[in-house]
Amino acid sequence: MPGKIPLKVSRTGSGALPVQKAESKSTINILSMAYNLAEESLKQLKTDYVDILQIHNPQQLPDPDDENSVYAGLKLAQKKGKVRFIGISLHKFTGAKSVLRSNIYDILQYPLPALSSRKEINLTKIAEKNNIGKITMKPLCSGPLTDIELAFGFFVAV
């Protein structure tokens, strides 16, 4: 099992996209509302925690030393036992590489379609070396490929 995450999911998992971008002034209000909504969601799901909570495609990486950052909020939720693993999704190679080198996230979600470059494929090796879980998005190149078996074959080969 790749990374330190003892979870097994199907080849085609699903999830949800939260509010993606906000001005820094409203971030604290959004996080407060999100926390309250998360508490309500956990009650409705009849569970005390979620397995993975991730930051989706931030314009810049959250500062882990800033106590008001999104990352700090996720760490607090993790400390309180509300979330088991913290992840981040990114679309840019440089950001993904920085995340993997920081080694502060449990999971990286990154586009890795069957037409990926060698340097992008090498991100998987860095993740494995740092024991970081990987979630691949856009396996069909956002539409040009239609053969899912081809895409899955690519990942087996990688």
Contact between 112 and 125 (Cβ < 8 Å): no
Look at residues 37, 47, 46 and name the one whose alpha carbon lies nearest to residue 16. Answer: 37
pLDDT-based confidence at residue 31 (cuts at 50, 70, 90) = low
Interstrand relation of 50-56 and 83-89 (parallel, antiparallel or unpaired): parallel
Q: What is the mean pLDDT of residues 27-36?
A: 68
Torsion of CA 106, 111, 117, 121, to 10 degrees: 30
Each residue of 88-147: pLDDT tens digit? 999 999 999 999 999 999 999 998 877 788 898 889 899 999 999 988 887 777 666 677
Fold of 48-157: TIM Barrel (3.20.20)
pTM, two decimal places: 0.73
Q: What is the pLDDT of residue 155?
A: 58
Give strand pairing partners of 143: none
